[in-house]
Amino acid sequence: MNRFWIKTPFFFEYVFPKYHWKIKNTSRKIFLTFDDGPIPEVTEWVLDILKKENIKATFFCIGENISKHSDIFLRIIKEGHSIGNHTFNHLNGWKTNSKEYITNTDYCQEAIKDQFKILKKEYDTSFLFRPPYGKIKNKQANKLREKGFKIIMWDVLSYDFDQSTSPEKCLDHVLKNTTTGSIIVFHDSLKARKNVEYALPKAIQKLKEKGFTFETLD
């Protein structure tokens, strides 16, 4: 992934108003999100932390990982977290033909739908989409919105995926930039494991101390 701003510039909300960069509210709600799972051990560790802290989050899952690790995916649903689509094969929208991109996203949504059927749960609240790498063409975004998806970007990027970023710096990124309504990105991936295992518990504790509450996206 190319380096992004840690704190997404405020003017992005005006330049790209149909994307969701943060969720405005007056009650200090923030939104914790995780990309790229489910992955054995990593996602399970994240779920353990969230359960211990009694908070909910939103997981943007890769369809291929859902198919490979359906037991973990089902645990995410059972424990009350929200689900989002992150394409079936983690595609870069800027480098992918739009028809292929939409088809790949549809495959991921079918994988999500199939798992909800196992639990006999409605899945219409899971029409959330985050483009891998944050890269998506306008044509792709417009088509996904036509299908009913909300395109979720972010306000705060932890950089846990960047192995040149120290765990301490990752934590610092989150604590210094989170404000009311922030959508915070962590990753439940092998690449991010070292950073997320250090930063996530500390970030949750510090943000709670600041009076923030954690909600899921819908």
Residue-wise pLDDT tens digits, 169-192: 999 999 999 999 999 999 999 999
Answer whether residue 8 is part of any domain: no
Per-residue pLDDT for 17 more than 90?
A: no
Q: Which domain holds residue 59?
A: 16-176+192-215
Answer whether residue 181 is part of any domain: no
Answer whether residue 96 is part of any domain: yes
- Give me the mean pLDDT over the 27-46 stretch: 98
Q: How many structural domains comprise the chain?
A: 1
Answer whether residue 184 is part of any domain: no
Answer whether residue 57 is part of any domain: yes
Answer whether residue 196 is part of any domain: yes
Answer whether residue 3 is part of any domain: no
Answer whether residue 2 is part of any domain: no
Residue-wise pLDDT tens digits, 79-100: 999 999 999 999 999 999 999 9
Active-site residue (options: 20, 69, 86, 187): 187
User: For residue 196, what are the CA distances in angstroms to 13, 26, 148, 186, 199?
Assistant: 27, 28, 31, 7, 5
- Give me the mean pLDDT over the 153-164 stretch: 95
Identify the CATH number of the domain in which residue 127 sits.
3.20.20.370
* Residue 5, pLDDT score: 63
The rounded distance, in Å, linking the Cα atoms of 197 and 160 is 9
* 187 carries an active-site annotation: yes
Active-site residue (options: 20, 35, 36, 155): 35
Per-residue pLDDT for 9 more than 80?
A: no
